[in-house]
A and B are shown apart, each in its own frame.
Chain A
């Protein structure tokens, strides 16, 4: 782990993407489904996942999208990124979604579909179940 940006404790199934996510343009606010055909999570729902992706990109207004999907109960339970960006950081802060950044090695070791628990109070916050 590199940094804790928003703290919290959750469990869930990993939804992993190797593409960065532009929340403003590619995530449906009502359904939490990725609507960008060119994205590797196209048509996948973010709801209740532990979303693992490199970083956010695009306009900082995308933070409001993260807040909206949380209000509509279709948000991920936590987000884990390689790099902290201001859009995802503020979006998760607004919506109170736990967010940490991890090393490249840790990023490679997490696979799509894995069941994990995340506890930012633990010195080793990610546990495979």
Chain B
């Protein structure tokens, strides 16, 4: 990689140990991803927040660097393990709570905006077309590249942190013009958000850096998010390019048969003990729609609804949280279905959800079975 004089000097340690470490991470990441230089970025979004994912080593590392490290650009943050307002209702062990709060403090000390959200693209204004950002959360990176006209690598927790501390990121292949060699043709009729989630999951297995996708009908926000969440779960691919692509592209059909294969891989139960909505977290549009669909209805079992704090506050002013709580929803901020410690196999056998991303992590990390259904079906089957 070609470095500027100032970057070389930081890498040698002339600007302090913290900058040296940050540049070491950027250079190692850049070399591993064939970048030729570092470029300035305007916004970073960090992962590596939930104590369930980063553990003691992560907690200790963040606590140690937060004494000195400060972010240089706008930096937002992924969900943590619980909603700080109601954590006492969930019987989490003291150690988890203490360690999670330490992680929260470390990020806040470094100057990170405590957004605790995996949908930064929905709760912040999107910068102008082509702006370089560094998003570590996979669904957010894919959404930024595919729908928001931004440019980001699929960052790791570490490269995004190093980008936050330096304002730079490796100029890896995702930031450049990419011509994918695969086109996925959507052949499933009348798709819902679950179909799009599975399309994304399929695309992540097939694609490498980016992938063409054709045959899509007009999609709503929930379906777009489901597709990004699905792809981020199954591979390293981090951009959808909409259209047929070049004539020499390999064409692969995503049809009912392919969809059923993925459904059978992720759906392991006929019904769930509880319901979760939100992975990615629900935005205000989805909360609005959900409260309309639940008018005059109530859930017959627990339904956990994950949404960013800022959306919950807006929804409260608009009267939606009252409506959702009346219908039996537990509204949780700051956390998400993914890797939540709030769902535990000792008390829950199976979870009903419409999220492919949620299903993958519930199954693989929480060790519970999953019953997959689109939201319309969940409301029909689980409310009265």
Asked if A and B are interacting partners, one says yes
Which residues from chain A sit less than 8 Å from chain B, CB to CB?
3-6, 29, 60-61, 63-65, 67-68, 71, 84-87, 89-90, 92-94, 96, 99
- Whether the Cβ atoms of A61 and B31 lie closer than 8 Å is no
A93 and B58 form a contact (CB under 8 A): no
Contacts A93-B25, A94-B61; is A64 near B32 (CB within 8 Å)?
no
B21 touches A60 (CB 8 A): no
Give me 10 other A-B pairs in contact (C-beta within 8 A), A29-B57, A71-B60, A89-B32 excluded: A5-B27, A5-B32, A61-B48, A65-B57, A67-B61, A86-B33, A86-B159, A90-B158, A94-B61, A96-B21
Once bound together, how far apart are the Cα atoms of A107 and B55, in whole Å?
Answer: 34
Contact between A85 and B156, CB atoms less than 8 A apart:
no
Minimal beta-carbon separation of B59 from chain A (angstroms): 9
How far, in Å, is A21 (CB) from chain B's closest CB?
16
Instruction: Collect the chain A residues with CB atoms within 8 Å of residue B24's CB.
Output: 6, 93-94, 96
Question: Within 8 Å of chain A (Cβ to Cβ): is B157?
Answer: yes
Cross-chain contact of B31 among A4, A64, A71 (Cβ < 8 A): A4
Name the residue on B nearest A96 (C-beta): B24
Cα of A29 to Cα of B53 in the assembled complex, Å: 16
Q: How far is the CA of A9 from the CA of B166 in the complex (A)?
A: 26
Q: Does B252 belong to the interface (CB within 8 Å)?
A: no
User: Interface size class for chain B?
Assistant: 20 to 34
- B25 near A90 with CB under 8 A, answer yes
Instruction: Specify the chain B residue showing the minimal Cβ separation from A3.
Output: B31
- Residues of chain B within 8 A of A6, CB atoms compared: 24, 27-28
B29 within 8 A of A: yes
A109 CB to nearest chain B CB (Å): 22
Q: Of residues 30 to 53 in B, which have CB atoms within 8 Å of A's CB atoms?
A: 31-33, 48, 53
Which residue of the partner chain B has the closest CB to A71? B60
A-B contact pairs, 26 of them (CB 8 A): A3-B31, A3-B32, A4-B31, A5-B32, A6-B28, A60-B157, A61-B53, A61-B55, A63-B156, A64-B57, A65-B57, A67-B57, A71-B60, A84-B31, A84-B32, A85-B32, A86-B29, A86-B33, A87-B156, A89-B28, A90-B25, A90-B158, A93-B28, A93-B158, A94-B24, A94-B158
Beta-carbon nearest neighbor of B59 in chain A: A64
Residues of chain B within 8 A (CB-CB) of A60 are 156-158
Given contacts A60-B158, A96-B24, contact A89 B57 (CB under 8 A): no
Listed residue (B29, B53, B57) with the most chain A CB atoms within 10 angstroms of its CB: B57
Query: Is residue B54 within 8 Å, beta carbon to beta carbon, of the partner chain?
Result: yes
* A61 and B54 in contact, given A84-B32, A85-B32 (Cβ under 8 angstroms): yes
Assess the B21–A90 pair: CB atoms within 8 A. Answer: no
Instruction: Report the separation of the CA atoms of residues A104 and B181 in the bound assembly, to the nearest whole angstrom.
Output: 27
Q: A76 vs B54: C-alpha distance in the bound complex, in angstroms?
A: 22
Contacting residues, chain A, for B157 (C-beta < 8 A): 60-61
Q: Which residues of A contact B159 (CB under 8 A)?
A: 86, 90
Residues of B within 8 A of A94 (CB): 21, 24-25, 61, 158
Nearest residue in B to A4 (C-beta to C-beta)?
B31
Q: Which residue of B lies closest to A64 (CB)?
A: B57
How does the 8 Å CB contact mask read for B52-82 relative to A, with 1 for contact and 0 for none?
0111011011000000000000000000000
On chain A, the residues within 8 Å of B21 by CB distance are 93-94, 96
A87 and chain B: residue at smallest CB distance: B156
Among residues of A, the one whose C-beta sits closest to the C-beta of B47 is A60
Q: Of the candidates B27, B58, B60, which one forms a contact with A61 in the assembled complex, judged by CB atoms under 8 Å apart?
A: B58
Cα A90 to Cα B156 in complex, Å, equals 9
- How close is A59's CB to chain B, nearest CB, in angstroms? 8
CA gap between A84 and B29 in the complex, in Å: 9
Given A61-B157, A86-B156, A5 contacting B57 (CB threshold 8 A): no
Docked CA distance A50–B71 (Å): 34
B-chain residues with CB within 8 Å of residue A92 when the two chains form the complex:
28
Interchain nearest-CB distance for A74 vs B (Å): 13
Nearest-neighbor residue (CB-CB) of B57 within chain A: A64
A76 CA to B159 CA in the complex, in Å?
Answer: 22
Closest chain-B Cβ to A103's Cβ sits at a distance in Å of: 15
Contact B31–A89 (Cβ < 8 Å): yes
A90→B48 CA distance, assembly (Å): 14
